[in-house]
Amino acid sequence: LVDLVVSSPLSRALKTADLAHSPRTASTPSPKRICIESFREINGKLLNAQRRPRKELETLFPHWNFSHIPATDESWTEELESRRDCSERGYQGLLWVMQQKQDNILLVCHGGLLNYLMNDHPKVVLVDGRFSETDDLTRPVGKRFGNCELREFIVSVWDCNEFSGCDKSAAKTQNGYETNYIGEGLENGRKYSQPIITLEEISLGESIIIDDNRAVVSDSAEIIF
C-alpha cells in the first residue's frame, strides 16, 4: 500500500506517477502527491530538462501539491549540471523523503539523476537484498534504470556520529540529520557533515514494513519503488 507519492517536477515524471498509481482509484483513498524539485533530471543545457511554471503545472495536474517548488524554473541554465551537483541534489531529496511520516513511498524521478546519486555520492551505500528466483541477480544494484523500470528499496539513514571521520560541528536539522556538503558549506563557509544513506534493493513485492522503512522509486522514464 503506497502512503505517499513523490515526483520530479518534469511533466513526464508526473504523468508516469499517475499511471503507476492512479489518483482515480475509487476503492481506496488516494495518497498525498507532492512534487519535489530535488528529483528533477540532470539539469541545464537540454530543453527536455526544463520544467513548466508552477501555475501551469497546477492547472495540468490539480491533484498534486506544488508548494515545494519555485514559481518559475529558476535553476535551469545553459550549462549542464555537474555529476557532483546532481548527485548531491538527489541526496538532499532522499533526506527530505526520510523526514516524512509515511512508511511506503512511491518516488518517480529519472535515470540520469539516480545513476549519479547511486554510484557517485560518497554518502550513499548500495546493498543487494534480493533473493527471489525471479530476480535477475546478474544485474548490479547500481545499474542505470531502464525506461519505466520499477525497483523496490528499503532506505535507511545512519547518523554521522556513529562513524569516524565525520565533521560534527554543524547544527542539525529538525530530524537530527545534517543536510549540506562536506567541506565548504553552502552558508557562511561553514563545514557540514552528512548522514550515510543505505539503499537496499529487495525483491519486488517482498517488502516487510519495519520502523524507519521507506520504499523508493525512479522516473517517468523509470521507477524505483
Over residues 17-46, mean pLDDT? 85
pLDDT above 70: residue 184: no
Q: Which residue has the higher pLDDT, 154 or 174?
A: 154
**CA–CA distance from 151 to each of 130, 154, 207 (Å)?**
11, 10, 11
Lowest mean pLDDT among 5-14, 28-37, 142-151, 204-213: 204-213
Over residues 65-79, mean pLDDT? 93
- Strand-pairing partners, residue 106, are 5
pLDDT above 80: residue 162: no
d(CA 59, CA 200): 37
pLDDT of residue 159: 72
Three-state DSSP state, 160: helix
Over residues 57-64, mean pLDDT? 95
Q: Which residue has the higher pLDDT, 111 or 214?
A: 111
User: In the structure, what pLDDT confidence band is assigned to residue 192 with cuts at 50, 70 and 90?
Assistant: very low
Grid coordinates of 198: 543505505
Q: Which residue has the higher pLDDT, 107 or 215?
A: 107
pLDDT above 80: residue 187: no
pLDDT above 80: residue 182: no
pLDDT of residue 221: 27
d(CA 98, CA 131): 25
d(CA 85, CA 219): 19
Percent of the chain scoring above 90 in pLDDT: 50
d(CA 121, CA 99): 20
pLDDT of residue 25: 60
pLDDT above 60: residue 121: yes
